[in-house]
Structure 1
Amino acid sequence: MDYSGSECLALLIVLGGSLVQGLLGIGFGLLAAPLLYLLEPSYVPGPILLLGFLLASCMLLGNRQSLAWRRPLPAILARLPGAWCGGLLLGVLPSAWLGLLLGACVLLATLTSYRWLEVRCNPRNLAIAGFCSGLMGTATSVGGPPMALVYQSCSRISARDELAAFFLLTTPVSVLFLLYQGRMPLDYLHSTLKLAPGVVAGYALARCLDGRFDKRSPRQLLLLLSLLAASGLLMHSLWRLLA
């Protein structure tokens, strides 16, 4: 396949987001969505959701673990109405307002991550996080932060495997809502296929680097990059609205 300059840059963004999520269990949408939206708004939310589904599949297959769905089951069930609400929200938002919503969600998630709130991983909180994840994930493709907030006290391996299972089982729901509303045209599939090698390469690199670095370092870098990306997207969207 032939790649333009912007598509090569998009491929690098997808690779970086996949590398971070492969190491930390979260970060793909948080990092990739605002940057890809600045390149080409049509990347959000459809292609990002499909690429996230591919990444979750790679993580489960690569770790050779059984599907860890029992504990996140309340979140899985609650994502259904959340995805429906997110689809409705996406249907009434103009492109510039969608950029503002995406930037605000990423900025809020990033600022919250600097000082975690005390949230227990229990069925009630999982259900609330699942609903919020469905709403944010379907409307903006950034559905990870609510779940990460609930899993903050769990071990990295448990959080990584259960979050992968959550996104593997629930992302198709968001995609189906987008298809039903006619917001997932066939050319989205072509865009997704062109960026898919970045997911595979990023996850493979994460497998090679796992256990060879301080886990806190990439998290701080992820938060800094997400903060810059969200701020840039907010300014760009505000400029479009004012213009």
Structure 2
Amino acid sequence: MLYSSLDILALVIVTVSIMVQAWVGIGFGLLAAPLLYLIDPAYVPGPVLVLGWLLSLVVVFKRRHSLNFLRVLPAILARLPGSWCGAVLLLSIASWQLSLFFGGALLLAVWLSLRRYSLPLNSLNLTLAGFLSGVLGTSTSVGGPPLALLYQHQARLTARDEIAAFFLVGTPISLLMLVWQGGASVLALGLIVKMLPGVMLGFWLSRHVERRFNVDSARPAILFISTLSALVVLTQGIIGGVAAY
């Protein structure tokens, strides 16, 4: 398989972004999607979703013996109605208005977290976070922060593994919706195959990062990525609103 210079650049982007998500639990889509879109719009959203899902598959397989599937199950179950509501909102409200609302809500959640306000990790809050993740993921393509903010005070490996389990089941819902709306061509399978080495290399690099920086909490990284997500979504809303008027 031949790689052009742009393919190699895309592979580097995928590798670094996968490494971040494999260490923190979120961040791949946020970091990779805008850069890959500049290289080739076909990378977004199909290949980005599939590559992120493959990372979740690897993480869950590696950690299957210590992973608490039952705890994260309420969030997984709530993602389906959340995704449906996100799709309904997109049909009834302008996407830029949704971006402004949810971007502001995310920023508020981060601010409350910095002020030491946090929610307990229980079934009710997991259901709420899973639902909001489904709504956000469908309407703005940024679905990780609601769940990650709920897990911010958990051990880093626990947060990463259970968020991976959430995306392992939740991402296929988004993929099915994409295929239903645009056909299998939206997946761009050729691009996915070319980027597969980036998934494996990024995960391998994350294992080395873990050994070099063996910290128990990913809270600072979660708050940083969530803030960045909120700003990206808000920017999308502002740009869309200016264009609408």
Q: TM-score, normalised by structure 2?
A: 0.77
The residue aligned with 1:47 is: 47
Q: Give the direction of change, closer, same or farther, for the CA distance of 1:10–1:190 in structure 2 (3 Å limit).
A: same
The residue aligned with 1:189 is: 189
The residue aligned with 2:200 is: 200
Q: Give the direction of change, closer, same or farther, for the CA distance of 1:89–1:173 in structure 2 (3 Å limit).
A: same
The residue aligned with 2:82 is: 82
Q: Distance in 2 between matches of 1:229 and 1:195?
A: 27
SS at match of 2:48: helix
Q: Give the direction of change, closer, same or farther, for the CA distance of 1:157–1:217 in structure 2 (3 Å limit).
A: closer
Question: What letter matches 1:112 in structure 2?
Answer: V
User: Conserved in 2, the CA contact under 8 Å of 1:80 and 1:134?
Assistant: yes
User: Conserved in 2, the CA contact under 8 Å of 1:30 and 1:106?
Assistant: no
SS at match of 1:60: helix
SS at match of 1:192: helix
SS at match of 1:71: helix
The residue aligned with 2:2 is: 2
Q: In the TM superposition, what whole-angstrom CA distance separates every residue of 1:59-79 from its partner, at most 9, and x where no partner exists?
A: 122335355320111111110
Superposed counterparts of 1:93-112, under 5 Å: 101=99, 105=103, 108=106, 112=110
Structure 1 residue 147 and structure 2 residue 147: aligned?
yes
Q: Distance in 2 between matches of 1:55 and 1:106?
A: 29
The residue aligned with 2:118 is: 118
Deviation at 1:139, TM superposition (A): 3.9
Q: Distance in 2 between matches of 1:90 and 1:147?
A: 21
Q: Distance in 2 between matches of 1:109 and 1:168?
A: 26
Deviation at 1:188, TM superposition (A): 1.9
Deviation at 1:117, TM superposition (A): 4.4
SS at match of 1:153: coil
SS at match of 2:118: coil
Question: What letter matches 2:55 in structure 1?
Answer: L
User: Conserved in 2, the CA contact under 8 Å of 1:29 and 1:143?
Assistant: no
Structure 1 residue 223 and structure 2 residue 208: aligned?
no
* Structure 1, gaps ≥5 residues long: none
User: Conserved in 2, the CA contact under 8 Å of 1:44 and 1:141?
Assistant: no
Structure 1 residue 212 and structure 2 residue 206: aligned?
no
Q: In the TM superposition, what whole-angstrom CA distance separates every residue of 1:21-42 from its partner, at most 9, and x where no partner exists?
A: 1112222223223333344443
User: Conserved in 1, the CA contact under 8 Å of 2:25 and 2:160?
Assistant: yes
Deviation at 1:229, TM superposition (A): 11
Structure 1 residue 158 and structure 2 residue 158: aligned?
yes
Q: Distance in 1 between matches of 2:133 and 2:117?
A: 17
Deviation at 1:123, TM superposition (A): 1.4
Deviation at 1:83, TM superposition (A): 1.6
Question: What letter matches 1:153 in structure 2?
Answer: H
Question: What letter matches 2:5 in structure 1?
Answer: G
* Structure 2, gaps ≥5 residues long: none
Q: In the TM superposition, what whole-angstrom CA distance separates every residue of 1:107-158 from its partner, at most 9, and x where no partner exists?
A: 9469928836412211121111111111222344421111001111222122
Question: What letter matches 2:239 in structure 1?
Answer: L
Q: Distance in 1 between matches of 2:151 and 2:118?
A: 10
User: Conserved in 1, the CA contact under 8 Å of 2:103 and 2:230?
Assistant: no
The residue aligned with 1:29 is: 29
Structure 1 residue 238 and structure 2 residue 239: aligned?
yes
Two-structure CA RMSD over aligned residues (Å): 3.9
Q: In the TM superposition, what whole-angstrom CA distance separates every residue of 1:166-224 from its partner, at most 9, and x where no partner exists?
A: 11122111211222222652552222222221111100111122131164799559938
Q: Give the direction of change, closer, same or farther, for the CA distance of 1:49–1:83 in structure 2 (3 Å limit).
A: same
Question: What letter matches 2:224 in structure 1?
Answer: L
Greater shift, 1-10 or 69-78, is seen at 1-10
